[in-house]
Amino acid sequence: MSASNSAPRGVAVVTGAATGIGRAIALQLAREGFDLALPLLDTADSAAASLVAELGALGAASLPLRCDLAEVEGHAETAEAIRARFGRIDVLVNNAGRGSAVRGDVLDLRPADFDAVMGVNLRGTLFLSIACARLMLAAAPAPRRRAIVTISSVSAELASPERTDYCVSKAGLSMAMKALALRLAPEGIAVFEVRPGVIRTPMTDAVAPKYDARIADGLVPAMRWGEPEDVAEAVAALASGRFAFATGSVVAVDGGLSIPRL
């Protein structure tokens, strides 16, 4: 699907878009007719600069913004900067997150490491969602249906004791999105959760040989890695506004990994 040249461009916010899944999402949304606000931990990074150039080549305006998700006190300022540049938000894609600080025995989990993961994956993401939802509600009626799409993980449901902090953060995020879906449904704002499985990104480079072997042994029924573009296509569909009577839905993009099996 591509946007009509005469259609007004939407405004999408994508966190963590410099690399991996977030980058693929930002580029796909640009192809679908969105301009992009890009809250990033480091706006001076070369990956961020190249993304802005690629978005421009696709005809999309972009606004990189320095944003540390864990610093929730700055989220209202981030949302206001987006409003000042684009006037509104049509779609928020919560993609940014972090992995466990240390993988190991759950009995050795340290409170500081737990708090660091929660600060980004759950607390930071929830409060940025709240800040953007408030802006959506305060803006004039949008030309397209609005949505919040949150990238969680199959780990919201499938337990990995060696990274309990990460799994708990994603399970909590799933519940937070259910609450937002109920609150925002009367306002015409849909909320969706996308759960990727084993996706080939820079974050999975270190464990690629392990997952190559496990995929070959049948871990993923589709018998392949997921690619960032697989997730991006799902997000773009949810952001399109075509699912007019859906909200609170969970979409697994995992090649069947999370299907219970005997």
Half-sphere exposure of 37 (CA within 13 A, CB side): 26
Residue 150 belongs to what H/E stretch?
strand 146-151
Place of tokens 């006190």: 73
Catalytic residue status for 211: no
Measured distance CA(185)–CA(182) in Å, rounded: 6
- Secondary structure (DSSP) of 72-106: GGGHHHHHHHHHHHHS--SEEEE------SS-S-G
- Three-class secondary structure assignment of 205-228: HHHHHHHHHHHHCCCCCCCCCECH
Measured distance CA(28)–CA(91) in Å, rounded: 13
CB 67 within 8 A of CB 91: no
CB 247 within 8 A of CB 191: yes
**Options 34, 86, 127, 166, the catalytic residue:** 166
Measured distance CA(43)–CA(52) in Å, rounded: 10
Report, as residue numbers or ranges, the catalytic residues: 166
